[in-house]
Structure 1
Amino acid sequence: MKGLVLSGGKGTRLYPLTYTKAKQLIPVANKPVLFRVIEAIRDAGIREIGIVVGDTAAEVKEAVGRGERWGVEITYIHQSAPLGLAHAVKESREFLGDDRFVMFLGDNCIQGGISPLIEQFGQSDWNAQIVLTRVSDPSHYGVAELDDDGRIVRLVEKPKEPRSNLALVGIYMFDRSIWEAIANIKPSWRGELEITDAIQYLVEHGYRVYPYIHRGWWIDTGKKADMLDANRLVLEEIEHRVEGFVDRDSQLIGKVTVEAGAEVINSVIRGPAIIGENARIVNSYIGPFTAIYHHTVIEDSEIEHSIVLEHSSIVAIPHRIEDSLIGRNVKVHRSPIKPKAYRLTLGDHSDIGLL
């Protein structure tokens, strides 16, 4: 099998952060979401991975390279225009050939990986397998309706009146029959070739499409709240370690990672939390579910349930920062007039003087 990762898209729901950074490269627990997707595919035994890229191709290529760090071979596929998931598959035909493949959206996090799914599909005679999970608001997703025997009846992309709460989670497995399906569908009202329409074609023409209902957590990291939720869940699960320097006046409470080169001075870090390489935490409190990325400074401040990206600084803030997603090269510092709380979504290279 081969792997296909979709890493295009503008990430408009994460503006202003994604004006200057590919959404798939924003880290969860100090690891870009795209890296987690590549690892999940590799761990399932797949070594040939195609990454579909768009306007952020240069940044993705620089970050990922050719895959040596994961022991995989990466091929980049430029999608000519953002015309839907099925269109991205269509433009990957040369890479995929007639091999079976798994397609994984590059901004998704899923508990437990996909190894069991790949093994299950590889040992079956199914033409396709789709992963579903129950969601509270299915109108934002592709939705599957099943009959009483658990077979797929129909799939609809972002329905106004969903007939099911089973959403497609962005992980699909196909054999060569997908080429017939894509060749026989037309653009939707959105002007896109929808993967849901291609799967519906397979269902209606007698192909075997197996619905797998995922029971663990799954996050589509398209919005700030989703990013923070994914960060919380992953921080709970990863294996924590202390490789940096923690002085005797500091306390690490619970699950805390301090990466190599980081310094924690006269501070309290209450986990689960992670402090990135060469970060510096001084006279501060880092609360639960916080990820501080590399080369960042937190001094005389408090922050929790937040993500802070690289080369940023938060200095002498008199009130706790919480529920925030802070970009690269951001400076947050004190101004004379003080409010009681801050909730921030800051783009890269911001310089914010708080009142």
Structure 2
Amino acid sequence: MKLTGIILVAGEGTRLRPLTYTLPKPIIPLMGKPLVVRLIEDLKSVGVNEFHVVIGHLGFLFRQVLGDGASIGVKVNYVEQRERLGIAHAIHRAIEEGANGQLIVYLGDNYFQGGVSNFVKVFMENEYDVFIVLTRHRDPTRFGNAVISDGRVVKLIEKPKEPPPNSYVVTGVYMFSDPDDVERAFKSLKPSARGEYEITELIQWFIDNGRRVSYTVTNGWWKDMGTPQDMLDLMYLMLDETKPRIEGEVKGEVNGRVIIEEGAVIEGVVHGPAYIGRGSLVGRDTVIEHYVDVEANVSINGGSISRSLILDNVRLELGKARVVDSIIGPSTRIRLSNGVNRLIIGEGNIIENI
């Protein structure tokens, strides 16, 4: 049976502003690669070669990054979701535009430790009508909840104010064996109170109609990249799993698990876990502390940086300043003199605090 990937990236990412005014969150690179590329490569590893990418906000940027998919070795089709009418509607739009076979739906701002390939294999081997991946979460009110009884999914609830006891959170990957059934389910839906066609209600149709709806509970970590802190947390988790690799030039000092990409130059000090991207310069008076991701063509002179993500083409003149818990948008110029600074900055800004 043919496997088709549906990647949902139409959202505006409002909780990640100002970054997402010009850069959709699935395109933001972590350790040298946009998240959406990582998701596609993950599904490619289990035989998904055709993708329908559902775009909306700044959709042209996905076309620029992914093209027709040839650079990744897959075929990418684009589907527009002009109105934000929910996940179920986005899946419906993909089917309208030709998505067929067994559908692997992946939210473009989700990431799983070790990827989802093992989940897809379980789905395929057991011929389920629907397969979902569940987990526990400290704040289940942010997500759909699944009620499990006797090893079966009996009810799904979208963002409950009072989560049912012992319920699980529904993560951002959904698998369907028959697109025609998905369309039957979608036609039965009405918009929720927030004006969206909910994925939980779509899957509930399958439960109510006696279809084989099954699940697994992931043992690894899972991140939904909604807020700046979520993005930093994902970066920390990914850096925790790095293996040291040095392909750039080290004139200064590198300690611990550090990746130095080709063309990067380290004149100062880098403490791992850390990532220094292609063509970036860490100046001789600079200290990169733990959990820092410096993307491509960044220049840093002076100061120190800890627990931060620095995106492409940033220029930092830090003097004796310390930057912590920060996300610096691409092509930004910052000049600081001292103090401890926490910055969440979008693309192309200029900040001077002398």
Q: What TM-score, normalized to structure 1?
A: 0.95
1:1-355 aligned at under 5 Å gives the runs 1-147=3-149, 149-163=150-164, 164-176=166-178, 177-247=181-251, 250-265=252-267, 267-283=268-284, 284-335=286-337, 338=338, 340-354=339-353
Q: Could you tell me how far 1:96 is from its partner in structure 2?
A: 4.6
Is the Cα contact below 8 Å between 1:303 and 1:321 reproduced in 2?
yes
1:200 is paired with a residue of what secondary structure? helix
Is the Cα contact below 8 Å between 1:135 and 1:167 reproduced in 2?
yes
Question: How big is the alpha-carbon RMSD for the aligned residues of Structure 1 and Structure 2?
Answer: 1.3
Q: Could you tell me how far 1:32 is from its partner in structure 2?
A: 1.3
The one-letter code of the counterpart of 2:245 is R
Change in CA separation of 1:158 and 1:317 when aligned onto 2, cut-off 3 Å: farther
| Percent identity of paired positions between Structure 1 and Structure 2 | 36
The one-letter code of the counterpart of 1:70 is I
Unaligned runs of 5+ in 1: none
Bigger CA drift: 88-97 or 64-73? 88-97
Change in CA separation of 1:156 and 1:311 when aligned onto 2, cut-off 3 Å: same
CA distance in 2, matches of 1:171, 1:97: 16
Q: Could you tell me how far 1:354 is from its partner in structure 2?
A: 2.5
CA distance in 1, matches of 2:231, 2:100: 35
1:320 is paired with a residue of what secondary structure? strand
Change in CA separation of 1:254 and 1:165 when aligned onto 2, cut-off 3 Å: farther
Bigger CA drift: 268-277 or 314-323? 314-323
1:319 is paired with a residue of what secondary structure? strand
Q: Could you tell me how far 1:97 is from its partner in structure 2?
A: 4.7
CA distance in 2, matches of 1:221, 1:165: 22
Please give the per-residue CA displacement for 1:255-301, whole angstroms capped at 9, x wherever unaligned: 11111111111x11011111111111112111111110111101112
Change in CA separation of 1:101 and 1:342 when aligned onto 2, cut-off 3 Å: same
Is the Cα contact below 8 Å between 2:242 and 2:273 reproduced in 1?
no
Unaligned runs of 5+ in 2: none
Q: Could you tell me how far 1:239 is from its partner in structure 2?
A: 3.7
Is the Cα contact below 8 Å between 2:289 and 2:307 reproduced in 1?
yes
Q: Could you tell me how far 1:95 is from its partner in structure 2?
A: 4.3
